Amino acid sequence: MLAVLSPGQGAQKPDFLRPWLDLPGAPSRLRWWSTVSGVDLIHLGTEADAEEIRDTARTQPLLVAAALLAAEHLPMYDVALTAGHSVGELGAAALAEVLTPETAIALAGVRGREMAAACAQEPTGMAAVLGGDAGEVLAAIESHGLHPANRNGAGQVVAAGAVDRLEKLAAEPPARARVTTLKVAGAFHTPYMDRAEQALAGVAAGVRGTDPARILLSNLDGAAVTNGREMVQRLVRQVTAPVRWDLCMRTLADLGVTGIIELPPAGTLAGLVKRELKATGVPEIVTLNTPDDLPAARDLIARHGTVAGHEPTISFRVVVATTAGTFEPAADLAEGAPVRTGQVIGQVVTRQGSVEVTAHGDGVLTEWLADHDDPVAPGQPVARVGGHLS
């Protein structure tokens, strides 16, 4: 199984987009997306210095546009899974066909502008806490009145909140940990961004997300989201909710992902995956930074992709578990029975309760892929529904 990952804020570098402008149609594509996002993407990706592209209002649409521009040159129909870190989730949602590219970039523009405005309200920031015991690190962050904004795995938690409280955390770090101040505008993914979340919600209310065409992981809990409307709601909620990239990587491992492509500007997520999954087996990774890396990325898809020969019409669709637990198929539903969009075909039983599993297309239940009480991971197929689904 192959996954394509879309990076988040902090991965950008001056001039990183320049090589992509040599591809046919790329400049006109970026000019159109610049109109949609409200920022000059070509200037930001080629001429702007590090300080200018650190501006949240500019960086967020730039990162989403860069990822989608590169992905247009990949055979995405053979890719099984997409995920993104923070604003990278908008790019991943577009790659999963929940959003159109234009919608994703427009939302990134709104998100960036509103988060930048929220940062200006009071002095806040973020700091990476590296090493130490995970429980002790989280307890120390809480004791200082801060928030664990990013839990990135590999011994890295990002604390966020008031600047004076971050300074106290740095002066009194948890045992065997070090604290590094990050050069960001404010406390992203915390309640300090409530204003931005509300503004984004007002715009996203007019967006009709379609159900994902491939497995799409959520930063909220690492779960595979199968409903487009729910994913749009999660994208809005993520402005103030912590990024659980650790749980996304756990799902990658649970699903047996063997190949990963990180879209430009690549390297950050690949590094986290290598460190987090070294004990269980690191997938083969391609960091796609320039068009020169496209042949290696295409070769990885050819060797790890889900489809040997793509058919233009999908003859079946799998239904996947959205969380970890044990699967219970619907008692009155047998193979060969017709199912309708939204019909509950089973549930995943967790410690917190049961989560319904629903069909996301009309058809016939052709095969159960999980039995009663089988343990399942987020994104794991539990049933196959036949029929010509668009």
Question: What's the pLDDT band for 381 if we cut at 50, 70, 90?
Answer: confident
CB 288, CB 30: distance < 8 Å: no
How buried is 279 (Cβ within 10 angstroms: 0-12 exposed, 13-18 middle, 19+ buried)?
exposed
250's enclosing H/E stretch is helix 245-254
Q: What is the pLDDT of residues 142-169, one digit of tens each?
A: 999 999 999 999 889 999 999 999 999 9
Q: Which CATH number fits domain 316-386: 3.30.70.20, 2.40.50.100, 1.10.443.10, 2.30.40.10?
A: 2.40.50.100
CATH number listed for the domain at residues 2-117+191-304:
3.40.366.10
Architecture of domain 119-182 in CATH? 2-Layer Sandwich (3.30)
Q: Rounded distance, CA 8 to CA 269, Å?
A: 9
Q: Rounded distance, CA 277 to CA 153, Å?
A: 10
Whether the CA torsion 165, 56, 106, 82 is positive or negative: it is negative
The per-residue pLDDT of the chain, averaged, comes to 91
Average pLDDT score over residue span 181-210: 95
- Choose the catalytic residue: 34, 86, 304, 360: 86
How buried is 275 (Cβ within 10 angstroms: 0-12 exposed, 13-18 middle, 19+ buried)?
middle
Higher pLDDT, 1 or 323: 1
Enumerate the domain spans of the chain: 2-117+191-304, 119-182, 316-386
Average pLDDT score over residue span 39-68: 96
User: Edge-to-edge, what's the strand order for the sheet holding 259-262?
Assistant: 215-216, 81-84, 2-6, 259-262, 284-287
Output the pTM of the full model.
0.81
CB 279, CB 186: distance < 8 Å: no
Q: Amino acid identity of 315? A: S
Q: What is the pLDDT of residues 228-254, one digit of tens each?
A: 999 999 999 999 999 999 999 999 998
Q: How many CB atoms lie within 10 A of CB 168?
A: 13
388 is catalytic: no
- Choose the catalytic residue: 144, 147, 189, 360: 189
CB 324, CB 378: distance < 8 Å: yes
Instruction: Please determine, for residue 389, whether its predicted confidence score (pLDDT) is greater than 50.
Output: no
For 90, residues 6+ apart whose C-beta sits below 8 A from its C-beta are: 6, 64, 84, 99, 104, 105, 107, 108, 111, 235
86 is catalytic: yes
